[in-house]
Structure 1
Amino acid sequence: MAHLTGRWTVHRVLRDLATGQEGTFRGTAVFRPAADATHLLHVEDGGLTWNGVTGRAGRTLLLYGRPDGTADVRFADGRPFHPLDLRTGHWTTRHPCGRDRYDGTFTVVSADEWRLTWRTTGPAKDQLQHSVYRRADRP
């Protein structure tokens, strides 16, 4: 959790493998303690370009740290998303969403960079998202 705390730039490439469409997200991610200090807030904000149109996009996730250095990631409304364990610098996880499946791979490149890939498969989606997070400041 301490490793993630701070401000990061985010560059994400999104691909719809069924249609061949591609888009990008460029913005920031801030990981900061919540007001009640029980978890970290992960707040992303930026611009999403899809089909040549750019609009504002963002999301908020909650990270609840465990004593062993791992975390439970939840959506902003508190629903479970996935476990997270960056202690070895590499983590894979799976999140079922209806009949679709999200397979995630987290890779720590250095103290100032980590990467996240989500591969989504199922009847509603055939997508790939690749994100690069680079530290914008030191906590």
Structure 2
Amino acid sequence: MIALADLEGRWRLTRRIEDFRTSQTGMLEGTCRWLPDGHGLRQEETGILHFGDAPPMQASRVYLWRQEGADLAVFFEDGRPFHRLSDRLSDRHLCDPDTYDVAYDVARWPDWTQSWRVTGPRKDARIVSRFQPLA
């Protein structure tokens, strides 16, 4: 199980996005920082996204990580719940009509992955993010 203290700091982020509906693939390369925010950690991702034939674009996102009992709860930046990380290292986020299933692989910690399978009437994708610590 990942603890908040394990995440704090700066990480290299590599993300592969496979859109099965359009047969397009994207890659994001950047950094991710987990910073104390008084309630837990604030996850800040920034990077350059290359997707299909589109020109590269700057991408960023923010999540809030909180300790809730034995679990880590992950929230969107505006405070809406996103998913939970427990001993089973997987969860489901429902965003009607879409379903987001996540699995964490920490077998090679501190080199770890977060894999999402996204399905819905207009979505069919796999998103795999790899995190590696930066000195």
Residue 99 of structure 2 is matched in structure 1 by 101
Percent identical: 34
Which structure 1 residue ranges, 4+ long, deviate > 3 Å from structure 2?
A: none
| Partners of 1:3 and 1:111 within 8 A in 2 | no
Listed as ranges, the matches of 1:45-84 within 5 Å are 45-52=46-53, 53-68=55-70, 70-84=71-85
CA distance in 2, matches of 1:93, 1:26: 25
Q: Secondary structure at the match of 2:93?
A: strand
Name which of 21, 24, 35 aligns with 1:18.
21
* Equivalent residue, structure 1, for 2:7: 4
Would the aligned equivalents of 1:63 and 1:73 in 2 still touch at CA under 8 Å? yes
Structure 2 residues without counterparts, runs of 5 or longer: none
- Give per-residue Cα distances to partners, 1:73-94, cap 9 Å, x unaligned: 0000000001112xx5x61110
**Could you tell me the TM-score, scaled by structure 1's length?**
0.89
Query: Could you tell me how far 1:14 is from its partner in structure 2?
Result: 0.3
Q: How many pairs are equivalent?
A: 131
Aligned equivalents of 1:62, 1:15: Cα separation in 2: 25
Shift in Å at residue 131 of structure 1? 1.0
Residue equivalent to 2:36: 33
| Other structure's SS at 1:115 match | strand
1:136 aligns with 2:134: yes
1:31–1:40 CA contact under 8 A, matched in 2 = yes
Alpha-carbon distance in structure 2 between the residues aligned to 1:103 and 1:114 = 17
